[in-house]
Structure 1
Amino acid sequence: MRSPVRGLSPSDSEEASDSTPLLQDAPRAEAAPVCCSARYNLAVLAFFGFFVLYALRVNLSVALVDMVDSNTTLIDNRTSKECTEHSASNKVLHNQTGKRYHWDAETQGWILGSFFYGYIITQIPGGYIARKMGGKLLLGFGVLGTTVFTLLTPIAADVGVGALIVLRALEGLGEGVTFPAMHAMWSSWAPPLERSKLLSISYAGAQLGTVISLPLSGIICFYMNWTYVFYLFGVVGIIWFVLWIWLVSDIPETHKTISHHEKEYILSSLKNQLSSQKSVPWIPILKSLPLWAIVAAHFSYNWTFYTLLTLLPTYMKEILRFSVQKNGILSAVPYFGCWLCMILSGQAADHLRVKWNFSTICVRRVFSLIGMLVSSWALQIHLPLFQEWLGLSLLKV
């Protein structure tokens, strides 16, 4: 079996790497049933875990619209004729019992952006810790920490903007370990030919969490007040944590209810995939051009994704002049498209590899290209009649 260091050596051709000899050398075990299987139960629980994570992450973006006194930042937009028709919706009366704060646009930017200062710190350490101790507890306590800090958000807002910024950064620290922890778990749970399906199911929860959280936060702010946004999603996070700790195991060998057939299927499909290499070949990794191509693509995607995720509700309030209720619904539309395409593309990717013998690298290149081009195009189009809904829905295809 080739070591990871040799796998990155210049002498290996791209096509040789893409042919995945490890999968060809190993005899293909008979697949275990999907229904009620431990691996798909893990995918479903992970789905709801990332649902909770992104709900906790984005609810402030909508709640902030209702937390800030409109007179502080809301200025009539004179630059676009299309925006004037939405200004009337801001006059609709709704529950305003929640406390209001006089935070200018710069302060709001710090509040929304502070999450990512914590988030970036724990990404790489999270992967190292997950490799050493397993992903179950790391992911579980990452979600729990974010949940607890979310429940404390109304208190921090009352204490002061500095306390709220620090709290959001701490939430980011907790969430930063979750994706590396999930990757570590799937390395022990996902059979190679089911990997795209299992990962797409689990990570699609992030998009659905955004889809549900944004409009629901707007409705809660409209009919109740913004503090209940944090309490509701915080309680959901605690319930998920209890189920995760009770039902999930780091590896198939220690799972309490997995069938013998499924355990053997997973282990046999992965036995030639696992490396005995203990050290990480950092120098060859850093010299790998395909790695930097992936980094560039991921950076470009995340730039758009997180800019919209964080600032779209504020933009729709300050510039397009939507009410908090309609704001949440419209802000969620792009992520509904993202969630739907993530589920379908995972199924399509495995189908192309298994049934049509497409190479893994071909599938990834084509899918990445389609996703980037469609999103870029949708950001620039102007649809006079349907731009409010259709343009937004195309953003995240």
Structure 2
Amino acid sequence: MPALPFRPRKAMGSWVPSKRHAVVGLCGVSTFICYADRVNISVTILHMGLTGAWRGWILASFFYGYFTTQLIGGLLSSRFGGSRVLNAAVAWWSAFTILTPWAARRSNHALFLCRVLMGAGEGLAYPAIYDIVSQWAPPLERARSFAAAQFGSKAGTMFALIVCPIIINASGWPAVFFGFGASGFLWNLAWMMWVGSEAPAVNYHAVPGDGAPDAESAALGKAKAVGAAEPPAAQEELSPRLARRLLALPSVWAIVAGHVTYNWGHYLLLSWLPTFLNEVHGVSKDNMSVSAVPFAFMSIGIGAWSSLADRWARHATLTSVRKGMTTIGLGGAGLLLLLLARAPDYLTAIMLASLSLGTQAAAGSGVLINHVDLAPRYSSVLFSLSNTFATLPGMVAVPLASAILAAPWGSWGHVFGLAAAVYAVGLAVYRRYMSAEPLNL
């Protein structure tokens, strides 16, 4: 079968961004804002006067809303289009971000509800982005387009952890929510001006501004004419029957177990690392920007581990690669969390947290991509189901850490020790039942 024609590189200086590049870029900006708004509470909560169990419940409240709208986001995007859903989602969560200081002054219960509603808006975003990018990105650009859209989440996390202390020192903690929330409405204006609810002119392939199919679309059409593989079939929409078929398979539950385990430690550090550094190692609330360093390591690790996994896959089965990368990621991260609890000073703590998240990034080339190996046609459905379960760690691990620390016997050693135990159990389940062989559904 003839290979897909190679797309020649354009001469330097002649490349002009097409409409699809603007769409993907704005999706990346939306995930940047999404994570900045999600993470800012981890720093501002140190200045809000919350103590005891309420601190844990407020940190966890976001995930209760996020959990409820994962599947709803997919259904709405398939019916009304991801563009409309994403635009509405950003406006929704930005409004509740701006309302956060008002809610905090009213009562702890009002603050909890405000964060739940803010999380519900963010839960709509990723299913919508998946729908948008899958329509606009040509097959030969799809992986890069998804990576560009997803990169904003890591950049937004680091931005919030670095910038929040600066804003708080200059204008007080409410200014964080006012500024971050306003950025979402600016994004809405940009989206409505440049994208709106427009759909690509060619199914699965965007077109340049002049309305003519681009060189890659033409190449794909030519390849189809000479017998090359066609673009993949459209993703099947979620239905109760499909969900039951998938959830009856042990290999699907292996992915769920691995995904839940991955998020347990990630959400724990995302929510509690600033508090840990402040209470245990005396890092000033005004110098909490150092808590961004571990997430920078995670961003670097994602790229490095994915390159290693691709090279490994040339010489081994995908099942071996996914199992190996997940073992490195979850096993290594769990061991490093045990050491983090015993760090003698804040520099060692930052180093161990960085190594833990950087090592955990290996699982991104394992369990987090296993959805596509196992069920290419149903990967978006499988991810929606898996991500719904994988939101539970935010609802359980975050408030549970607060309860452990409030107990007479509780310590950070118990918090991180429990996380390491979850890593061990989740990894064992994943290794026992996982597969990268495509399902025959």
TM-score using structure 1 length: 0.74
Partner of 1:97: none
2:35 to 47, 54, 71: 54
Aligned to 1:89: none
- For residue 378 of structure 1, the aligned residue among 308, 320, 336 is 336
1:245 partner letter = M
1:274 corresponding residue in structure 2: 233
Paired positions, count: 336
The aligned residue for residue 287 of structure 1 is 248
Amino acid across the alignment from 2:244: I
Secondary structure of the residue aligned to 2:281 is coil
CA distance, structure 2, for counterparts of residue 298 and residue 180 of structure 1 = 17
> Which of 1 and 2 has higher RCO (CA within 8 Å, sep 6+)?
1
8 Å Cα contact 1:196-1:347 kept in structure 2: no
Contact 1:197–1:346 (CA<8 Å) still a contact in 2?
Answer: no
The 3 A distance-change label for structure 1 pair 33 and 190 is: farther
Q: Which is further off, 32-41 or 172-181?
A: 32-41
Q: Contact 1:116–1:172 (CA<8 Å) still a contact in 2?
A: yes
Q: Distance in 2 between matches of 1:277 and 1:333?
A: 40
Q: CA deviation at 1:368?
A: 3.2
Identity of aligned residues (%): 31
**CA distance in structure 2 between the partners assigned to 1:114 and 1:65 by the alignment:** 16
Task: Quote the Cα distance in structure 1 between the aligned partners of 2:248 and 2:8.
Answer: 39
2:276 alignment partner in structure 1: 315
Deviations 1:194-224 (A, max 9, x none): 4433222221211111111012111222233
Matches within 5 A, 1:62-77: 62-68=43-49
Distance in 1 of aligned mates of 2:62 and 2:329: 26
Q: Note if 1:200 corresponds to 2:147.
A: yes
> Out of 245, 248, 260, which is 2:213 matched to?
260
Tell me, in whole angstroms, the C-alpha distance in 2 between the residues paired with 1:128 and 1:228. Answer: 35
Contact 1:52 1:209 in 2 (8 A): yes
Q: Distance in 2 between matches of 1:252 and 1:290?
A: 38
CA distance in 1, matches of 2:291, 2:201: 39
Structure 1 equivalent of residue 291 of structure 2: 331
| 1:150 equivalent in alignment to 2:131 | no
Query: What is the aligned counterpart of 2:172 among 222, 225, 242?
Result: 225
Distance 1:111 1:190 in 2: 38
Q: Given the alignment of the two structures, is residue 174 of structure 1 paired with residue 155 of structure 2, yes or no?
A: no
Q: Deviations over 1:42-69 (max 9, x none)?
A: 333222211100000111111111121x
Rounded to whole Å, the distance in 1 between the matches of 2:164 and 2:354 is 19
Aligned to 1:243: 190
Instruction: Tell whether the 8 Å contact from 2:69 to 2:120 is kept in structure 1 after alignment.
Output: yes
CA–CA distance in structure 1, aligned partners of residues 157 and 268 of structure 2: 14
1:104 corresponds to: 51
Superposed CA deviations along residues 331-353 of structure 1, whole A, max 9, x for unmatched, are 21121112222344556666777
For structure 2, the 5+ residue unaligned runs are 359-441
Q: Does the 8 A contact of 2:274 with 2:291 survive in 1?
A: yes
Structure 2 contact 78–237 (Cα < 8 Å) conserved: no
Letter in 2 for 1:66: H
Residue 283 of structure 1 and its aligned partner are, at CA, apart by 3.0
Inter-CA distance 197–272: structure 2 relative to 1 (3 Å threshold):
closer
Task: Name the CA distance, whole Å, in 2 between partners of 1:109 and 1:271.
Answer: 50
Q: Report which stretch shifted further, 39-48 or 253-262.
A: 253-262
Conservation of the 8 A alpha-carbon contact between 1:52 and 1:237: yes
Equivalence for 1:132: 79
CA distance in 1, matches of 2:109, 2:262: 30
What's the offset of the Cα at 1:318? 2.8
Contact 2:294 / 2:355 at 8 angstroms: preserved in 1?
A: yes
Correspondence list, 1:346-365, <5 A: 356=314, 363-365=321-323
Q: Given that residues 337 and 394 in structure 1 are in contact (C-alpha distance below 8 angstroms), is that contact kept between their aligned partners in structure 2?
A: yes
Cα 1:276/1:204, change in 2 over 3 Å: closer
Looking at structure 1, the residues matched to 89 and 30 of structure 2 have their Cα atoms a distance apart, in angstroms, of 10
- Kept after mapping to 2: 8 A contact 1:32/1:265: no
Q: 1:278 to 1:135 in 2, by over 3 A?
A: closer
Give TM-score scaled by structure 2 length: 0.68
Q: Given that residues 218 and 324 in structure 1 are in contact (C-alpha distance below 8 angstroms), is that contact kept between their aligned partners in structure 2?
A: yes
Q: Distance in 2 between matches of 1:143 and 1:151?
A: 12
Counterparts of 2:327 and 2:35, CA distance in 1 = 25
Q: Is the 8 A contact 2:42 2:272 kept in 1?
A: yes
Instruction: State the Cα deviation string for residues 205-252 of structure 1 (Å, max 9, x = none).
Output: 111111110121112222331111111211222222222233344445
2:44 aligned partner, one-letter code: A
Question: C-alpha displacement at 1:165, in angstroms?
Answer: 1.0
Q: Kindly tell me: are residues 29 and 131 of structure 1, through their superposed partners in 2, closer, same or farther at Cα, counting changes over 3 Å?
A: farther
Counterpart contact for 2:158–2:296, Cα < 8 Å: yes
Q: CA deviation at 1:373?
A: 3.1
Deviation at 1:374, TM superposition (A): 3.3
Alpha carbons of 1:271 and 1:185: their partners in 2 closer, same or farther (altered >3 Å)? Answer: farther
